Amino acid sequence: MGLAETFVTASANVPFDFWAQGQKFLAGDYLFDSGFPGSISVRDKSSKLGTAIAAVPYGDPVTKESAKLIFVRRDGKYYLTELWGVLGKSGDRRI
């Protein structure tokens, strides 16, 4: 008997440049998906720029309406630090 994994894709418009996993992303439309255990994929809708973010799960799932991206601003730059979604809350704990 195998374990089934839930795959979730969400989209968001981020109105400012941001950093994730050491990579800069320009303001724009992005797709976020849970394709691999322990990580979240971030892809630019138009250019296919993307990266996988190591995401440590730490909280219960939220409703689709309460899903959000959490950014921290440091030295004038925005860093994606947490993702709250239907699979749970997770984040990059190194930030």
What whole-number distance in Å separates Cα of residue 50 and Cα of residue 10?
Answer: 14
Extents of the domains making up the chain: 9-91
Q: pLDDT grade, residue 1 (50/70/90)?
A: very low
What's the rounded mean pLDDT across residues 15-19?
A: 96
pLDDT at 9: 83
Q: Which residues contact 15 (CB under 8 A, 6 or more apart)?
A: 27
Enumerate the β-bridge partners of residue 13.
29
Report field, pTM of the whole predicted structure over 0.85:
no
Give the N- to C-terminal CA distance of the chain in Å, as an integer.
38
pLDDT at 44: 87
pLDDT at 95: 44
Q: In the predicted model, is pLDDT for residue 91 greater than 90?
A: no
Which residue, 4, 40, 52, 43, is CA-closest to 25?
A: 43
pLDDT tens digits, 27-86: 999 998 876 767 888 888 876 677 887 777 778 878 888 889 999 999 999 999 988 887
